[in-house]
Amino acid sequence: MTAPASTTRMPSAGPALAEGRGPLSHAVMTALRGGRLPDTAATYAREAQVWGEDLQLTLYVLYELHYRGFEGVDDALEWDPDLLRLRRILEDRFLRTLRDGTADAPATVSGAFGPLLVEPVDLSGSLSHFLETDGELWHLREYAALRSLYHLKEADPHAWVIPRLTGRAKAAMVAIEYDEFGAGHAERVHARLFAGLMADLGLDTTYGRYVNQAPAPLLATVNLMSLLGLHRALRGALVGHFACVEITSSPGSRRLAKAMHRCGAGPAAEHFYAEHVEADAVHEQVVRHEVVGGLLDDEPHLEADVAFGCAATVFTEDRLAEHIRTAWARGASALRVPLAD
């Protein structure tokens, strides 16, 4: 693997590189540390289980090269052709599996988003409802550690869609992202607010700190955002993902704010979710009417893609929720390695 001749090769000052979980991820970690990507890497990529630890971790690591990189890893490897070819194999398999898993989902915006606008009467399967009513402090700490892989870069994957939008959709998307990034105030950036939540819960606020403890179902939810964000052809699906997140955020955040208060998690922990109750209630209206509406006014042929983005979000989040519920029902950790007390 070689960088362009004009590129100054500099190691990143990002988080520590993750530990491998199988032949595919081990091969990629070796290459990122300066070794050679073996000829068998493509075979590993085609044979690894799509929802498995090895594939999802590898995809996560390759995507992170486009965010903050990894400590000691050459920044130029972000565009290494061998790694990109390998990533394309993984992306094609992941995307095909997502489309297969959502094949029966509605293909219209009204069909996709309609059910999300009405809160279910039965919340027994909701993680936020469990945390609100029965969750203990250790549940909240695990939940925050898991979600930190996204929330410490909150809104970054969605920002990739901005140059791919025009008119109403672009203006509205920028307005929402401006709010997500603190409206010009560094202390109000949502990622920083989540770091405050983590500190209240006694967690390490270092970016990417909990990747080695994050199971494949969590990595898949983050990988979905990066997959949709990095490909212009999937811009409609990224808007659908963003809309789904904003529509479902406010009710869940209200329950989580109550959970933080009930468990005595701390003021910053409560504030993060309280902030999202109000902000995302406003964002939900803007994203539906202006971002989605504006995009489909400009490119009506993308409606099925928007619906797919919503369906894929629900699909991956449901898989994660099932993983967490199953572990907690046994009194076990939902992480690969439990948190220290």
Same domain, 96 and 203: no
Share of the chain above pLDDT 90, in %: 87
Residue 3 lies in a domain: no
Average pLDDT value for residue range 62-70: 97
Q: What is the pLDDT of residue 3?
A: 47
73 and 113 together in one domain: no
Q: Which domain holds residue 213?
A: 109-329
**Residue 5 covered by a domain:** no
Q: How far apart are CA 182 and CA 315, in angstroms?
A: 30
The answer on 50 and 161 residing in a single domain is no
Reading the block at residue 106, the tokens are: 């509605």
Mean pLDDT of the chain: 94
In a domain, 95, yes or no: yes
Say which CATH number the domain at 182 has. 1.20.910.10
Residues 6+ apart with CB under 8 A from 4: 76
How far CA 180 is from CA of 67, 98, 158, 223, 250, in Å, comes to: 17, 27, 11, 20, 14
Q: What is the mean pLDDT of residues 297-311?
A: 98
pLDDT digits (tens, 9 = 90+) for 87-99: 999 999 999 999 9
pLDDT at 319 over 60: yes
Query: Both 75 and 124 in a single domain?
Result: no
